[in-house]
Amino acid sequence: MDFEIDKELRREIEETREWGEREVRPAGLEADRNGAPLPIDHPYFRRYLEHGGGRTRWHGPGAEPARGSSGGGVLKSVIIGEEISYWDRGMTIANPGVGLPEGIVLASATEEQKERFLGPFLKPDRPRWASFALTEPGGGSDTANFKTRARRDGKHWILTGAKCFIGNASRADWILVQANADPEKGRSGQRAFFVEQGTPGLGGFKIEKKMGLKAYESTSFTLEECRIPENNLLGEAGRSAEKSDGGEKSSKGYKSTMSTLNASRPGVAASAIGIARAALDESIAFARANDLVKQVRVRDRLELFQRKLRAAWLMVLKSAWLADQGKPNIVEASMGKVYAAEIAQDIATLAMELLGVVGARGDHLIEKLYRDVKALNIVEGTGQIQRVIMGRQLVGLPR
Ligand SMILES: Cc1cc2nc3c(=O)[nH]c(=O)nc-3n(C[C@H](O)[C@H](O)[C@H](O)COP(=O)(O)OP(=O)(O)OC[C@H]3O[C@@H](n4cnc5c(N)ncnc54)[C@H](O)[C@@H]3O)c2cc1C
């Protein structure tokens, strides 16, 4: 085990820090003050592309090397992700790029699909987004009971249903939509479909109101008899499942989606750590400026949270390291996510307490971090769901 950060990664962290301070923090604050995501023609996004962002990790013909969180393994992306979230977590999701569905597409899509859907992100001519739609108005945790349906019609699929709280959905070139093609089979009937923007029947986009992370859009939309070509069904596994395989291959499609989310959990946990570190730094600065550091109880709580933050960070690093080794990390990823999100909330709460009336005014960075941090305990599997996963593993029950 090696805790040393090599020269190349150190340089990337420094670059990220410089970019974060100069560009990301001001953009995130601007969106928060406006109470709305930055518009797609905001100059920030153009600068982000010029900076080398918004590219896919897929190495298609003519690919430019990806930068920052897009390059290297999970451990490296987690370290860079923590740093950028320190400056603004909302902007990390608002940034153009393939985002959340990229891992799923890389793991499961056909080469033809990668070319069609990731190809435009190799050298993007303009800021481009993609989106991943799992959650439905009836609930996001109980994936076996999702109501969005897919039915076969000749060489097409017809999708019907509704999704909500979907990141970047209205600005995305395509949305990877989870729908059930065989509800009797429950989870194993689930498939993922590429739904391209402009497809008739895809509409009703409505940006949701959020307490924090206002820099990116979380959007609800509907699919009304939305007809898409058969080769927009993600991957081979789902397609061959059409030839009546008893659900075995189709369940592979669902499992691969879920295991990709497992791999992305260290990244969510790292974001919580980044927000918490920012809140701790701001608290210390505020305590110093207001002479609160003389009080032993204040110092004691700051120290306690620094200790817990470091413990959480070690958990997250271990779960990322396991993912890079190709080893199972279900428990570590869940544990890291739960612990980091909870500690981050505790730290933001302490920071608000220190501010007193200054926090109540609603225009201090700490107050924004306090609102931003809550979502990290909700997205990609809530804290409760992670605890369900860990509890079942602990006593040897299937997931
Ligand atoms: C900022 C933000 C961004 C998001 N981005 C996306 C996105 O891009 N794509 C996407 O698909 N979704 C996205 N989501 C949705 C997110 O994944 C869901 O909110 C999450 O899965 C929980 O679903 P729910 O909110 O419908 O809660 P529900 O599933 O309705 O659950 C409600 C409560 O009950 C608890 N609960 C449910 N079942 C159990 C159980 N079996 N045992 C114990 N407790 C249980 C949950 O933990 C939760 O506290 C986003 C959400 C937020 C807040």
- Where does residue 15 rank: exposed (0-12), middle (13-18), buried (19+ CB within 10 A)? middle
- C-beta 378 within 6 A of ligand 1: yes
Task: Say whether pLDDT at 366 is over 80.
Answer: yes
Mutate to test the pocket of ligand 1, among 220, 275, 378 (most ligand atoms within 8 A of CB): 378
Judge whether 177 and 163 are in contact, CB under 8 Å: yes
How many angstroms separate the CA atoms of 91 and 50, rounded?
A: 16
pLDDT digits 0-9 by tens, 76-110: 999 999 999 999 999 999 999 999 999 899 888 99
How many angstroms separate the CA atoms of 368 and 5, rounded?
A: 31
- Where does residue 102 rank: exposed (0-12), middle (13-18), buried (19+ CB within 10 A)? buried
Under DSSP, is residue 320 helix (H, G, I), strand (E, B) or coil? helix
Under DSSP, is residue 174 helix (H, G, I), strand (E, B) or coil? strand
pLDDT digits 0-9 by tens, 141-179: 888 889 999 999 999 999 999 999 999 999 999 999 999
> How many Å lie between the centroid of ligand 1 and the Cα of residue 198?
27
Average pLDDT over residues 253-264: 67
- Please tell me the predicted confidence (pLDDT) of residue 145: 85
- Please tell me the predicted confidence (pLDDT) of residue 107: 86
Q: How many residues are given for the chain?
A: 399
Q: Which two tokens stand for residue 14?
A: 């420094």
For 29-47, b/e burial (b = at least 16 CB within 10 A) is bebbeeeebbeeebebbee
pLDDT digits 0-9 by tens, 17-43: 999 999 999 999 999 999 999 999 999
Task: Say whether pLDDT at 263 is over 50.
Answer: yes
Task: Say whether pLDDT at 212 is over 70.
Answer: yes
pLDDT digits 0-9 by tens, 122-139: 999 999 999 999 999 988
- Please tell me the predicted confidence (pLDDT) of residue 360: 86
- C-beta 388 within 6 A of ligand 1: yes
- C-beta 268 within 6 A of ligand 1: no
Global pTM exceeds 0.75: yes
Residue of 206, 195, 149 whose CA lies nearest to 172: 195
Q: Calculate what percentage of the chain has a pLDDT beyond 90.
A: 76
- C-beta 134 within 6 A of ligand 1: yes
Angle subtended by helix axes 101-108 and 248-289, to nearest 10: 150
- Where does residue 261 rank: exposed (0-12), middle (13-18), buried (19+ CB within 10 A)? middle
DSSP assignment, residue 245? Answer: -
- C-beta 144 within 6 A of ligand 1: no
Judge whether 104 and 176 are in contact, CB under 8 Å: yes
Among 51-65, 96-110, 272-286, the range of highest mean pLDDT: 272-286
Q: From the alpha carbon of 213, which atom of ligand 1 is closest? A: 1
- Look over the chain and give the mean of its residue pLDDT values, rounded to a whole number: 90
- Please tell me the predicted confidence (pLDDT) of residue 136: 96
- Please tell me the predicted confidence (pLDDT) of residue 61: 64
Compute the CA torsion angle 280, 286, 290, 295 (nearest 10 deg): 0
Residue of 99, 4, 84, 97 whose CA lies nearest to 54: 97
Indicate the pLDDT class of residue 246, thresholds 50, 70 and 90.
Answer: very low
Indicate the pLDDT class of residue 213, thresholds 50, 70 and 90.
Answer: very high
Question: Which distant-in-sequence residues (6+ apart) come within 8 Å of 365 by Cβ?
Answer: 29, 278, 282
- Atom 41 of ligand 1, nearest CA residue: 385
How many angstroms separate the CA atoms of 52 and 80, rounded?
A: 15
> How many Å lie between the centroid of ligand 1 and the Cα of residue 375?
10
> How many Å lie between the centroid of ligand 1 and the Cα of residue 141?
5
How many angstroms separate the CA atoms of 93 and 54, rounded?
A: 11
Catalogue the active-site residues. Answer: 380
Task: Say whether pLDDT at 68 is over 50.
Answer: no
> How many Å lie between the centroid of ligand 1 and the Cα of residue 142?
9
Higher-confidence position of 311 and 257: 311
Indicate the pLDDT class of residue 264, thresholds 50, 70 and 90.
Answer: confident
Indicate the pLDDT class of residue 238, thresholds 50, 70 and 90.
Answer: very low
- C-beta 169 within 6 A of ligand 1: no
pLDDT digits 0-9 by tens, 172-194: 999 999 999 999 988 889 999 99
Q: How many helices (H) and strands (E) are present in the chain, helices listed first?
A: 13, 7
CA angle 177, 179, 181 (to 5 degrees): 140
Residue of 145, 153, 139 whose CA lies nearest to 185: 145
Mutate to test the pocket of ligand 1, among 165, 166, 372 (most ligand atoms within 8 A of CB): 165
- Please tell me the predicted confidence (pLDDT) of residue 242: 44
Q: From the alpha carbon of 178, which atom of ligand 1 is closest? A: 11
- C-beta 160 within 6 A of ligand 1: no
pLDDT digits 0-9 by tens, 288-347: 999 999 999 999 999 999 999 999 999 999 999 998 888 889 899 999 999 999 999 999
